[in-house]
Structure formats: C-alpha cells, structure tokens
Amino acid sequence: MTVDGANPATEKRESPRRKILPYGDRHGDGMVQVSFTLELPDGPEAEEAGRQVMKLMGLTDPQIVSSEPLGPSFTFFVGYGKLLRPVDLDNLKVAKLPWEKLDPETINKMVRERLGRPIIVVGAATGTDAHTIGLDAILNYKGYAGDHGLEAYSAFRVVNMGSQVENRDLVAKARELRADAVLVSQVVTQRNVHISNLTALVELLEAEGLRDDVVLVCGGPRLSHALAVELGYDAGFGPGTKPSEVASYLVQEVLKRKGV
C-alpha cells in the first residue's frame, strides 16, 4: 500500500500541452480500445494473432479482453492497449475553413448590393445515389436543425435536381442556367464509389470547359473540406453541416470570384 502520508501530493502533468497521448483513466496512459475480426477459428492461435494485430498497430501492453467466434471460421476481438506515440499538436495541419460565418440578413444584403441578382445554385445527388435528405437539408426552405436552407435566402436561386442524377445531366443543367455554383451530395461510400463519382464530375466539367465558371462544392457524411480539395473541389462539407455555413461560404466565394 502506498499512502502519501502527510505530504499532500500534487501530480504534475508530465508532457507539455502540445504533445498529447490518448487518455483512458489517467493523463498520459495512452489507452485505446480496438475491435476487429480475423478469419481464424476461435482459440489460442487466433488470440495470439489478435495480439499481433494490436502490436502491428503500435500498441504497448496489448490486451485481448474478448474473443468471440463469429461462426466456425472467424473470430471477433475486443482489445485495449497503450498508444505511447504522441500526437504533436504544433505540427497538426487542420484544414481551415476559408470563409467566415455570416448571418442571413448580411448574406442577402451583400448579394443584393454587390451582385444585384441572386446567386444561381444547382444541386443534385449524383450517380446512383438516392439519398436526398442531406442535400435537401442544405437546399430546401425547411433546412436542417432549425437553420433554413438556401431557398429561404433572397441571395440564392436554387434548382434542386434531386437524386440519381447523372453527371452529364447535372453539367447540362448548370450550363443551361449559367449556374454560379454546383452542389453535389454523395452519401453512399461503399468501395469508394463517392470518390469515383466526384472525380468523374470534375473531369466532365473540365472537359466541357465549365470548371472555372462554377464554384464546385460537395457534401456528405464521409466528406470533409480537406478531402474535397484533394478531389479538385472548391469546398467540402461533412456531417452536421448547417445550411447557413454553406450560404456563408458560397456568398463569399462567388463575390470574390466575380470581383465585386
């Protein structure tokens, strides 16, 4: 037993704030929970293989705390281990949002005064993706989480093409309406189908010579600004996005491009 006797202990946080480890029970313990499946029948071999998986993840003190047969030839593991490699916060590249949040009145006023006509926005869920709720949340009047969609702004004229729209139909519509911005939603991500769909759209726009005429934006639960930029988009919006964030971005980007 160790009791600190009469000396009140004051524990120091050993590592400086800018390098951090995962926190389980105590500062710096590095504790991480993992789970995974191996194609091996439950037993000592599988368990040792499970421990090896944890070691391959760089975990110190790997503990398999559960192994469950998923049938005759697969085993599921739950494990806890310590990741003692710190994240260096000073060297973190956080994809910064290149716009600031504005309120609806400001947005409407900016567009009225500086552009003199609404920004034309065309949106669609492309390819075979039939998930419209996210796109509707951004575009439709009703909006999302109490925040109205782009339709509710005088600053935007919105055309929502709905779901399962082929890229070529979207591009044709953008051309027809002389759209200022094209908004694409991608929700299904199995086997990275969203990546190929999104890439194909960029290529098509480029081939048609339209890429520079529009602000190109994508969104969906597995998208982030960083990924969007990587794919050749101007911006990307992930889960929980509010329509007003998209509105703020669009107005700033479109006005900047128009030089007004």
Partner 1 sequence: MNSPGRLRLNLDPGTVAACHESGQAIAEKVWKELEGLSTVAVERAVARLFGIDGADSAGLPLPNVIVDALSRSGGLEDGVAIHLAKACLETGGEPQDVAEDVACGQLDFASIPDRPRRELEDKARELARRAIDRILDRRKEREELISRLGQSRQPWLYVIVATGNIYEDTIQARMAASQGADIIAVIRSTGQSLMDFVPYGPTTEGYGGTYATQDNFRLMRKALDEESEKLGRYIRLVNYCSGLCMPEIATMGAFERLDVMLNDAMYGILFRDINMERTLIDQRFSRMINGLSGIIINTGEDNYLTTVDAFHHGPQVLASEFINLHFARMAGIPDEQIGLGHAFQIDPWLESSLLYEISMALLVRQCFPNCPVKYMPPTVHKDGNIFFAHALDTMYNLVASLTGQSIHLVGMLTEAVHTPFLQDRFLSIQSAKYVREASRGLSDNFSLVPEELIEKRAQSLLQSAKEVLEHVKDTGLFAAIEEGVFAGVKRDRHGGRGREGVFKKSARYFNPFEEILSSRSKAF
**β-bridge mates for residue 217, sequence order:** 183, 235
**With contacts defined by CB under 8 A, how many residues of the chain interact with a second copy?**
40
Burial pattern 174-210, b for ≥16 Cβ within 10 A else e, equals bbeeebbbbbbbbbbeeeeebbebbeebbebbeeeeb
Count of alpha carbons within 13 angstroms of residue 228, beta-carbon side: 25
Is 132 a residue that touches ligand B12 (CB under 6 A)? yes
The window from 42-50, 110-118, 208-216, 251-259 that contacts a second copy (CB under 8 A) reads 42-50
Rule CB under 8 A: which of 84-123 touch partner 1? Answer: none
Residue 37 touches partner 1, criterion: CB under 8 A: yes
User: Which of 53, 110, 115, 188: binder of partner 1 (CB under 8 A)?
Assistant: 188
Q: Which of 19, 55, 101, 142 is catalytic?
A: 142
**Given candidates 174, 179, 183, 227, which one binds ligand B12 under the rule CB under 6 A?**
183
Examine residue 189 and tell whether it contacts ligand B12 (CB under 6 A): yes
Stretch of 45-53, 72-80, 113-121, 232-240 contacting ligand B12, by CB under 6 A: 232-240
CB under 8 Å to 47, separation ≥6 — which residues?
64, 67, 75, 77
135 binds, among a second copy, partner 1, ligand B12, none (CB under 5 to 8 A by kind): ligand B12
| 242 is a catalytic site residue | no
Q: Does 130 bind ligand B12 (CB under 6 A)?
A: yes
* DSSP three-state, residue 27: coil
Tell the residue number behind the tokens 């951090």, with chain if given.
20
Size of the site for ligand B12 (CB under 6 A): 30
Q: Contact with a second copy (CB under 8 A): which of 1, 3, 6, 9?
A: 1
Q: What is the distance between the alpha carbons of residues 116 and 149, in angstroms, rounded to a whole number?
A: 21
Distances (CA, A) of 37 to 49, 64, 72, 121, 182: 11, 12, 13, 45, 41
Q: Which residues are catalytic?
A: 142
